[in-house]
Amino acid sequence: MPLLVMKFGGTSVATLDRIRRVAKRVGREVANGYDVIVIVSAMAGKTNELVGWVEETSPLFDAREYDAVVSSGENVTAGLMALTLQEMDIPARSWQGWQVPLKTNSAHASARIEEIPTANLNAKFAEGMKVAVVAGFQGISPEGRITTLGRGGSDTTAVAFAAAFGAERCDIYTDVDGVYTTDPRISTKARKLEKIAFEEMLELASLGAKVLQTRSVELAMRYNVRLRVLSSFEEYDPNAGTLVCSEEEIMESNVVSGVAYSRDEAKVTLISVADRPGIAAAIFGALSEAGVNVDMIIQNISEEGRTDMTFSCPTNQVSRAKAAVEAAREKTLINFHGLVADTEVCKVSVVGIGMRSHTGVAAQMFGALSAEGINIKVITTSEIKISVLIDRKYLELAVQALHDAFGLENAG
Amino acid sequence: MPLLVMKFGGTSVATLDRIRRVAKRVGREVANGYDVIVIVSAMAGKTNELVGWVEETSPLFDAREYDAVVSSGENVTAGLMALTLQEMDIPARSWQGWQVPLKTNSAHASARIEEIPTANLNAKFAEGMKVAVVAGFQGISPEGRITTLGRGGSDTTAVAFAAAFGAERCDIYTDVDGVYTTDPRISTKARKLEKIAFEEMLELASLGAKVLQTRSVELAMRYNVRLRVLSSFEEYDPNAGTLVCSEEEIMESNVVSGVAYSRDEAKVTLISVADRPGIAAAIFGALSEAGVNVDMIIQNISEEGRTDMTFSCPTNQVSRAKAAVEAAREKTLINFHGLVADTEVCKVSVVGIGMRSHTGVAAQMFGALSAEGINIKVITTSEIKISVLIDRKYLELAVQALHDAFGLENAG
């Protein structure tokens, strides 16, 4: 029997009414002839409530107890979903992580999945169960304790189940109806993509298009799990949403698939750094230890043994970054003349697997920005992405101009 | 190391503040040299919320899913309690029912405990853990699914752990400070008992003194687990509360230990029942099938092949009882001339193990009631209890008169 994995996030199961609504979608796939594994999150707000209690009880909490507490929200939804399906005469039962068992390592609160044995669920499918409702976000450690998978854990759970059970597809139901060429709040011309390649989705996810957690896309790419992102609030449509899949499934790739942005970026420059071997390691080692999420890094040409070193990071980490490099200077690990931070910048990127085989994308991008009088402060490129830092006030203008320049409104 | 079991009910762990307060009591017992097993209920109100969701989702719910959902409340409290103890530098960890494992049969929603292996917890105690916090009310079935123990399940869990681990005592913390000679709301002369025998506690519990669930007292009596009932809201006092223990521990028993009552009783009489073998079985079989909780049963002397049959049941079950016997009459299973129900009665009982060796208690009881002009409608007796049905309007008067007559104010 073909198998589907369907994952419903917290807003999709926030009330008993919404659980009933999404259960109908599950029922439709059963009617279509599928066995289904449903992965559920906690009802919206429940996990935050539990996390709040843990943090209030113990600021430096034992992560094993944190996991035991916060995993309970998913268990509630799983049971309620199974009951709802049973009311619709669909043979269903709930599974908690340890019952499957979803085996993880012992990194509590951010555990990694190690194995999902299929025997237990498959035995029940063979007995006539049509839907296994699995509590997402949780597993069991080698020591027999409950683990949670950290941020985006339910998406990751869903993809891992799809990989382990060889599912035909993994449908991620959320509160948006797919992946767009850019943020529809910024450009009214934004168009929903029918398909997008894993690599593109990864770049978009890491750029702040928060449709899917990066980790789940990575896993899907590794195991070639076809992911569909769609809304649980839209009417049923077998072709709804956006399919995230391998490049090979996308007949003719666009050169550029989307325009992404990240609003709160800061550009920090260390001026006249003494340029010697190991200096970059010293600087970025210090920043990493301080928990600064460094994104772009640019080193200008060295003159007379000194160079300027520029990096970008989230705006709210600038003071931490300053403290870290000043501390490293005091310990004479690094030597520089001054530090300049520009906290009024943003990052705009164009992403597309077609860039691999097309040249001139960068020139076209810079030309479009130039035509709007937008000055580019920093540039970085990868195989399928070009990113620039620009003044934050130009964010919307730049996104709209690039969306137009690459014809994203009509492509596809 | 001597071991204590301490159980905290829902009101005792209703907030993070209250959890901190009871954790201090646990810490004091650790300081006194005990290893401790703490049994926790869900935070007050949580279980009702979960039960409400289940019932709204599925009126005729699958009890396996019910158990998976409603057991989650205890898991939250167990984790929070463990974290609170850790904050006090007490080595503690939480255990869910399946982790212990607390093994039950498969009677979901009202499972019976079959075995509590001690190896897992004892291994951790040997490693230096001082407190095992166990989620009450739950276990695991032979099929590996979560079970719950039904009403009073956390008290029962506590007693079962005390029996399995050979605890010195099982302290049941609740919102009352012990067992009284009668309800203090009815008699201001009510006195807290220092000790009470298991058998007496059982009679009082079944008579409506809702301090402990009958089931947990039965289990304590079978395994001779010393139970202490005390309030989590009073200041610490090593001699607080009431000890429920075996008769042998009570040096000199009072003839009567307490006066109990049950307000909402009804007396139902079937008039002129055709008296033949099997008639009682037919009547009470029909009532039992209809879910009527019959308490007292009295059959008057038979005359000319007919007799009057009287029984008592809760007031709100009278119409169900009527319907059941009328249906039995239509099916010609029984034959009677009429049915009279008196729904304005109550039951008052005196309880005491001393009755076994003292005569004249019944006469003294009837005399005390007679002196107040109270007419007795029905009498039943057991080895350590005498109960009467009287008009409900005399309830308070009767309780006070009996409390005085047996000198309960000053005894002990």
- CATH 3.40.1160.10-classified regions of chain B: 3-248
Per-residue pLDDT tens for B61-92? 999 999 999 999 999 999 999 999 999 999 99
Q: Helices marked H in B58-138 — which ranges? A: 63-70, 72-87, 119-126
Residues of B in contact with A94 (CB under 8 A): 65, 68
pLDDT at B412 over 60: no
pLDDT-wise least confident of A1-5, A252-256, B95-99, B380-384: A252-256
Q: Helices marked H in A225-317 — which ranges? A: 279-289
**Residue written as token pair 């168009």:** A191
Residues of A in contact with B38 (CB under 8 A): none
- CATH 3.30.2130.10-classified regions of chain A: 259-405
The reply to whether residue A65 touches residue B53, judged by beta carbons under 8 angstroms, is no
DSSP string, A43-78: PTTHHHHHHHHHHHH-TT--HHHHHHHHTHHHHHHH
Can you read off the two tokens belonging to residue A30? 């059963």
Nearest residue in chain B measured CA to CA from A91: B62
Per-residue pLDDT tens for A8-36? 999 999 999 999 999 999 999 999 999 99
> May I ask the CATH architecture of the domain B3-248?
3-Layer(aba) Sandwich (3.40)
Interface test with A, best of B22, B57, B89 (most A CBs within 10 A): B57
- CATH 3.40.1160.10-classified regions of chain A: 3-249
- Dist. CA A200–CA A217, nearest whole Å: 10
Residues 5..34 of B with a Cβ closer than 8 Å to A: which? Answer: 16, 19
Per-residue pLDDT tens for B280-295? 889 999 999 998 999 8
Per-residue pLDDT tens for B384-402? 999 999 999 999 999 999 9
In terms of Cα–Cα distance, which of B144, B143, B124 is closest to B134? B124
The reply to whether residue A87 touches residue B62, judged by beta carbons under 8 angstroms, is no
Pairing status of strand B113-115 against strand B103-104: antiparallel
The single-letter DSSP state of residue A113 is E
- pLDDT grade, residue A210 (50/70/90)? low
Higher pLDDT, A340 or B176: A340
Residues 86..105 of B with a Cβ closer than 8 Å to A: which? Answer: 86-87, 93-94, 96, 98-99
- pLDDT grade, residue A412 (50/70/90)? low
A50: contact with B, CB 8 A cutoff: yes
pLDDT at B327 over 90: yes
Average pLDDT over residues B21-38: 96
pLDDT at B209 over 60: no
Residues of B in contact with A123 (CB under 8 A): none
Per-residue pLDDT tens for A379-403? 988 889 999 999 999 999 999 999 9
Distance to chain B for A131, nearest Cα, Å: 14
Per-residue pLDDT tens for B240-283? 899 999 988 887 667 899 999 999 999 999 999 988 888 888 99
Residues of B in contact with A144 (CB under 8 A): 99
The reply to whether residue B54 touches residue A79, judged by beta carbons under 8 angstroms, is yes
pLDDT at B117 over 90: yes
pLDDT at A211 over 80: no
How far, in whole angstroms, is CA B252 from its chain's centroid?
Answer: 25
Residue A209's pLDDT is 56
* Phi, psi for residue A343 in degrees, rounded to 5: -100, 10
Residue B206's pLDDT is 62
The reply to whether residue B72 touches residue A68, judged by beta carbons under 8 angstroms, is no
CATH 3.30.2130.10 fits A259-405, yes or no: yes
Q: State pTM to two decimals.
A: 0.83
- pLDDT grade, residue A300 (50/70/90)? confident
**Quick check: helix, strand or coil at residue A409?**
coil
At the top level of CATH, which class does the domain A3-249 belong to?
Answer: alpha beta
- Dist. CA A187–CA A153, nearest whole Å: 31
Question: Which of B50, B58, B146 faces A76 most closely, judged by CB atoms?
Answer: B50
Residue B119's pLDDT is 97
Amino acid at B333: L
Nearest residue in chain B measured CA to CA from A82: B65
Q: Which residues are CB-neighbours of B157 under 8 A, at least 6 positions away?
A: B7, B39, B102, B113, B134, B136, B137, B138, B149
Helix (H) or strand (E) holding A212: none
Q: Which residues are CB-neighbours of A56 under 8 A, at least 6 positions away?
A: B16
Per-residue pLDDT tens for A305-326? 888 999 999 999 999 999 999 9
> For chain B, what is the total number of helices (H) and then of strands (E)?
12, 18
Residue A228's pLDDT is 95
Percent of chain A with pLDDT over 70: 98
A84: contact with B, CB 8 A cutoff: yes
* Phi, psi for residue B147 in degrees, rounded to 5: -120, 155
Residues of B in contact with A65 (CB under 8 A): 79-80, 82-83, 86, 93-94
In terms of Cα–Cα distance, which of A176, A343, A363 is closest to A256? A363
Nearest residue in chain A measured CA to CA from B134: A68
Nearest residue in chain B measured CA to CA from A78: B69
Average pLDDT over residues A221-227: 95
The reply to whether residue A57 touches residue B99, judged by beta carbons under 8 angstroms, is no
Distance to chain B for A21, nearest Cα, Å: 12
Distance to chain A for B60, nearest Cα, Å: 9
